[in-house]
């Protein structure tokens, strides 16, 4: 089965150019969806402690029949566990639920600036990487200012920042700041969940021109924007379609038309959003 091309992160590890999102699947659905997706060629799977599906994701990875080292498994630290010792304990709980010896990519889910403990959590994640329990470490929903503080106070940059990104909220300024620091971008809600993005006239026109689905051209927009999209689907056909976006190219006019909207968030603002 075809697989996504690979990006090389700043720590030398490989990150597939497209992955499977699993929110809001439960354990049973995640187990089926992950095993099925791996069979279709997916090699990046995204979970989180707060998705409450780590056990299912882990079972799906182990049931897939693909060598463990070929699959990049991601999970995330919940806000209730911010702090140095709390992060170390939370990671062990996640690893136990996953049933895996190590985690490929561990992220701080949200910065929670009011709690103001994300720097201490980051120091704990650096320790986990140094010990080999985690291959790569990163953040999710961090602003450029949050990342500057991590660098200033610890000297260690995240390898990845997973952010809300889609043509309704392209995040061009943040992506440029991350690129300048060598930080890879993953996009959650890449298809604009809950919006009418896939019904957009410009998106549908581009899809017709390429004989593709609207979802495929939006995912291709992400790929050409340099981001790693994480579309969620448990449907076998859609999983296959979502991965089949590496054999065509959008031109500059098409890229611009897909993202020709007044930018607006669909999710929380990291400057004050709280997730526990």
Q: CB–CB of 123/82 below 8 Å?
A: no
Per DSSP, 85 falls in state H
Give the HSE-up count for residue 177: Cα atoms under 13 Å, Cβ half-sphere: 14
Euclidean distance between CA atoms 243 and 40, whole angstroms: 8
Instruction: Answer yes or no: are the C-beta atoms of 160 and 136 closer than 8 Å.
Output: yes
- Identify the CA nearest to 184 among candidates 152, 155, 222: 222
Known catalytic residues? 51
The token pair at 112 is 């929670």
Q: Quote helix, strand, coil % in the chain, to nearest 5.
A: 45, 15, 40
């Amino acid at each position: 089965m075809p697989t996504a091309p690979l990006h090389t992160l700043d720590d030398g590890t490989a990150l597939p150019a497209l992955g499977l999102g699993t929110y809001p699947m439960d354990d049973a659905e995640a187990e089926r969806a992950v095993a099925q997706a791996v069979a279709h060629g997916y090699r990046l799977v995204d979970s989180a402690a707060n998705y409450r599906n780590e056990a299912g994701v882990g079972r799906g990875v182990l049931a897939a029949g693909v060598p463990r080292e070929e699959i990049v498994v991601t999970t995330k630290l919940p806000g209730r566990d911010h702090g140095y010792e709390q992060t170390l304990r939370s990671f062990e709980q996640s690893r136990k639920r996953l049933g895996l010896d190590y985690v490929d990519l561990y992220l701080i889910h949200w910065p929670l600036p009011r709690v103001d403990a994300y720097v201490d959590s980051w120091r704990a994640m650096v320790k986990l990487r140094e010990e080999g329990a985690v291959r790569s470490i990163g953040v999710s929903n961090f602003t450029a200012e949050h990342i500057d503080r991590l660098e200033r106070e610890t000297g260690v940059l995240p390898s990845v920042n997973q952010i809300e990104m889609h043509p309704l909220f392209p995040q061009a300024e943040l992506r440029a700041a991350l690129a300048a620091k060598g930080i890879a971008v993953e996009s959650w809600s890449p298809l604009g969940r809950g919006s009418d993005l896939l019904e957009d006239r410009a998106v549908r026109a581009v899809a017709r021109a390429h004989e593709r689905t609207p979802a495929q051209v939006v995912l291709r927009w992400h790929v050409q924007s340099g981001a790693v999209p994480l579309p969620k689907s448990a449907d076998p056909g859609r999983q296959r379609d979502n991965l089949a976006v590496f054999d065509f190219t959008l031109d500059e006019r098409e890229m611009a038309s897909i993202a020709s909207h007044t930018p607006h968030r669909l999710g929380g603002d990291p400057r004050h959003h709280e997730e526990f």
